[in-house]
Every structure is written in structure tokens, then in C-alpha cells.
Amino acid sequence: MPDPLAPPAAILPVELVGVGSPLVDLVVAVEDAFLARHVEGAKGGMQLVDAERIAAIIKSGKVTPLQSAGGAASNTTVGAANLGIRSAFIGSCGQDDFGAFYHQALTDQGCEPRLAIHPELPTGRVLSLVTPDAERTMRTCLGAAAALDPAHFTSATFAGVRLVMLEGYTLFNVDLTRAIARAAKEAGCELALDLASFEVVEANRAVLSELLDGFVDLVFANQDEAKAWNAAGAEAALADFARQVPICVVKLGKDGALIAGRGQAPVQVPAELVEAIDTTGAGDCWAAGFLSGYLRGLPLVQCGRLGALSGAAVVQIAGAQVPREQWLGIKGYLDAWA
């Protein structure tokens, strides 16, 4: 039986491969009072729970969630595919309707699915509870997404690939993280890492330090993740990252993003001024725009501009899947600048 994670025979290899958790996004709009009554933990964070807990929260809300294919690295590679970057996504799904939905959703977006199928575990899902201030509080059931086998990853997995995008949630599986990072480096790929959430940073400082020291070429963090790394805040964390990683980004929400790279002085790229209704996938889409510009050889400031346009597009809709026509508008900027 062929390896589902191996690159297929193709005329042109993909440029960008995302590796992470295939999660079906279930987005629900709630009031702050609902969070206080039904959800433990800090607003705006992420916690791992089982599928039954997600079902119970949905039942309490008495609503039908908006369903879409999600997961941080998947959102990024799907966005890049819409911007004209040849992209693929590697992950593990269950042998169920959610898994079939996920495979088709990637295909429809022009992102090549390389999905291992687990015969027993369910496809993962993430409940995104969106409050009126557009903040999202996530509860995640990894299911089959946590069953990706480190033994699958060799240099052949990433043959011909220019850049591998690794999501921070993978850090919870240290053996898998190391296998992906080593395979990417052996294949001659650059490795990008998104830190995912402040809880990920707090729980995985040791392996994160290991990755930053010689494996990671690009690192993305938001303000909360930056502060979890260095309590002094975004600029201090950016300076920390820049001592080890060639290109570093700290996203500042409505205040744009700080970018440091290759010995250059840090620059701040402004955000697009739009009315946000849901921040689900905002950082993932920002990375999609940035990496698309990076893979086309654009200066870092223009990469950041593409990130801002991409992030602004997704916060104006519910969920993390930007409509094709909006991606085409952003692609117009990329094509004109490249």
C-alpha cells in the first residue's frame, strides 16, 4: 500500500508543505456570560478536551456550529494555495464523515491532501467560541490528529519542497516534532514554526528552545505567545527570537506586526483597519500571506503587507475559510509585486 504522506509523482513538486493537526472547525457565536457559565479556563485560550465535552458545550448553546476544515498549518497552506503557491498538507484523520469532509475541503481549495487515515480514532475537531468582541476561546479534541507517526517522516517526505510549516500544537508530541524538523533539514528545506497559543509556549519551553537553536528559519508569534516567552513583552521576545532565528514575526493584532530578519533592524508593518467579527484563523492567514510573499522573493516589509491583507480578510467573516474571490484580490498584489 502506498504511503499516504509521501509526495506523489508530479511534474512540479509542491513549494510549501504544512504539517499539523487536521481539525474540523466548529464555530459558534456566544455571549461572555455563556463562557462564564459553561467554559472553564481563561477567555481567549485553548484547552484540550474530549469529543464529549465539545458536544456538551454545543448542546448548552442550542446552536448549529459553522463547519469548515481547519487546523493552524492547514489554514496557512490552504491560504497559500489560493495565492498561487503549490501547497500540500500532512496530517492524520479518522475513517469517518469528518475525515472525508476534510479531504474534500482541501482538494476544493487547491491544497494537496496527504492524510493518513486512522481506523479507530475520530477525526479531530476544535470548537471556537466567538464573543461579541471577536475574541475566540477554543476547546480542541485532537482525536486521530494526535496519532501521526514520527516514523513516517524522512527526507523523502519533503523531497523538492522549499519550506515546511509546522504548527505549534505539534510541540506536545516531542518525538514527532523532532522527526519533522530533522526530516525537513535533511531534505534541505527551510522550517517555519507558528507558536499557536500562549499555553503551548508555557508547556513546551524546552523543546521550543531546542527547535529555535538551529532548526527553525522563520518563527511566528502573537502578543500573548511573545509574552509567554518573555514577560517583558513583544519587543523583548522579538529580540530573543532574533538571536537564534533568521526571520521573526510578532503579530500585534490591530497594531500590525513587528518583523526582524537577517541582521536588519526590526520594522513594524501596520494592520488593515477593518471591522473584525471573528478572529478564528487570523494568525494562520497572516502567515499564509507572509510566506507566499517570502516564497516569491519579496522584501520582508511587503511580505508583512501581504500578511496584513490576508489576516484582515479572514477576520471579516465567520470561520477561517476566506472566500476565493477575496484571495484573488490579495493574489493581485502578490503578482504585481513579485
- Sorted by where each starts, the structural domains of the chain and their CATH numbers stand as 73-114+148-337 (3.40.1190.20)
**What pLDDT digit, counting tens, does each position of 291-303 carry?**
999 999 999 999 9
- Beta-strand (E) ranges in 75-234? 87-94, 112-118, 124-130, 136-141, 163-167, 190-194, 218-222
pTM of the model as a whole? 0.87
pLDDT value for 60: 86
CA 289 – CA 285 distance, rounded (Å): 6
Write out residues in the chain with pLDDT < 70, as ranges. Answer: 1-12, 319
Dihedral sign of CA atoms 125, 202, 253, 73 in order: negative
**Cell triple for residue 179?**
522527526
pLDDT value for 1: 42
pLDDT value for 257: 97
